């Protein structure tokens, strides 16, 4: 019988929540084999919510490398009669998925919002269109964070990968952490974004970051303020930035241009704070406050801190 391979990712001693979400989706589709690759990932890997777990724990796999990881995956696919590969649409998943698909000559579906035995739905045009497919052939699929609830870990059978890991001509020298305590935009349950209504970068630091920190949220931005150099592009939400789907999204001093909406309109609940009643952001917001943000945000922050 054919099986589904779930590629999980370790985050220290834990398995990423997105990997558990993917495992839960896969469980509804057939027999599941899990795979976690890395160095010292065995403790985390054993928590993956799949019946069978393969651990590729090796010094050579310390850092993500598309060539090495693709090779490990294709060896496992061959040995286990795999016909579908599922993974989270993380920076690794979105990079690895297409490379594996090319190697195996399978189809690829990136960043899916829905996945199941009835087929897949993925966004096009920054989520302004949904494209449904139901491939008969083998596919590699990456699934967006927060699209499904996470599966619970259970004690499945564990095997160690014993195949061969090729050398690669790329070499990771180090990982630079981007500021301690910052929550990653695409993984956050709450996102607090600021726009040009903040008037200057100091106000972003004074109003947006602290509000985000009180809520344990990620801090996002419109392109206008990224282009103005207030914050780096890694904060940008929208068609040419990141697509986020948190439970709660705050748009503060953001007009709601179509390119911004593309990156956040999949959020479960949207709150807009803007002084212009005609700002397009109110058309997508679940809750709107028409007011000067400098009057509202400090109150909001202090009430949330209590």
Partner 1 sequence: MNIAVLIKMVPDTESRLEIVDGKVKEDAFKYMVNPYDEFAVEQAVQFKESVGGKVTLVCLFSDNPGIDTDLRKMMAIGADEAVVLRQEGYRGDKPSTNSKILAEAIKELNADLVIGGVQGIDYYQGATGPMVAHHLNIPHISGVTKLELNGEKITAKRQIEGGLQIIESTLPVLVTAQKDMTKVRFPALKDIMMSKRKSFENRSVSASEENDVETIECSLPPARDGGLIIDGESPEEKVDKLLEKLKMEAKVL
Binding site for ligand FAD (CB under 6 A): 195-197, 222-225, 236-241, 253-255, 257, 259-260, 263, 274-276, 279, 292-294
201 makes contact with partner 1 (CB under 8 A):
no
Residues 106-165 that bind partner 1 (CB under 8 A): 106-111, 119-120, 123-135, 137, 139
Please say which residue, 154 or 287, places its beta carbon nearer to partner 1: 287
The four Cα atoms 29, 7, 19, 241 give a dihedral, to 10 degrees, of -110
**Least distance (Å) between residue 30 CB and partner 1:** 18
The interface partner of residue 195, options being partner 1, ligand FAD, none and the CB cut-off 5 to 8 Å by kind, is ligand FAD
Q: Report which DSSP code applies to 54.
A: E
Instruction: Say if strands 157-160 and 52-57 run parallel, antiparallel, or are unpaired.
Output: parallel
Structure-token pair, residue 6: 């779930």
* Residue closest to ligand FAD when measured from CB atoms: 238
Stretch that binds partner 1, among 77-85, 101-109, 150-158, 193-201 (CB under 8 A): 101-109
CA pair distance 118, 133, nearest whole angstrom: 9
For the CA atoms of 164, 169, 173, 179, what is the dihedral angle to 10 degrees? -90
Q: C-beta of 254: minimal distance to ligand FAD in Å?
A: 4
Does residue 288 bind partner 1 (CB under 8 A)?
yes
Q: Is 276 in the site for partner 1 (CB under 8 A)?
A: no
The minimum distance between CB 150 and ligand FAD, in angstroms, equals 28
Q: Which residues contact 173 (CB under 8 A, 6 or more apart)?
A: none
CB atoms within 10 A of CB 65: 21
CA-CA distance, 38 to 13, in Å (whole number)? 12
């Amino acid at each position: 019988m054919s099986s589904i391979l779930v590629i999980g990712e370790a985050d220290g001693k834990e398995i990423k929540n997105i990997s558990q979400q993917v495992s839960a989706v896969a469980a509804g589709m057939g027999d599941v084999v899990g795979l976690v690759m890395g160095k010292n990932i065995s403790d985390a890997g054993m928590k993956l919510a799949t019946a069978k777990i393969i651990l590729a724990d090796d010094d050579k796999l310390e850092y993500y490398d598309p060539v090495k990881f693709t090779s490990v995956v294709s060896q496992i696919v061959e040995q286990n009669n795999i016909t579908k590969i599922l993974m989270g649409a993380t920076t690794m998943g979105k990079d690895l998925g297409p490379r594996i698909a090319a190697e195996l000559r399978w189809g690829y579906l990136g960043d899916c919002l829905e996945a199941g035995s009835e087929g897949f739905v993925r966004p096009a045009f920054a989520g302004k269109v949904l494209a449904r497919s139901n491939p008969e052939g083998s596919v590699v699929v990456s699934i967006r964070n927060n699209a499904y609830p996470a599966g619970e870990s259970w004690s499945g059978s564990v095997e160690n990968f014993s195949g061969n890991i090729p050398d690669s001509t790329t070499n990771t020298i180090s990982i630079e952490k981007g500021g301690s305590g910052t929550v990653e935009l695409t993984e956050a349950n709450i996102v607090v974004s600021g726009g040009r209504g903040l008037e200057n970068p100091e106000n972003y630091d004074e109003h947006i970051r602290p509000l985000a920190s009180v809520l344990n949220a990620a801090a996002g931005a419109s392109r206008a303020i990224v282009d103005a150099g207030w914050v780096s592009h890694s904060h940008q939400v929208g068609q040419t930035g990141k697509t986020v789907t948190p439970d709660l999204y705050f748009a503060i001093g953001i007009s709601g241009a179509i390119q911004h909406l593309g990156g956040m309109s999949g959020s479960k609940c949207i709150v807009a704070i803007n002084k212009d009643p005609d700002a397009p952001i109110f058309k997508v917001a679940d809750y709107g406050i028409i007011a000067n943000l400098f009057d509202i945000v400090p109150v909001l922050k202090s009430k949330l801190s209590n």
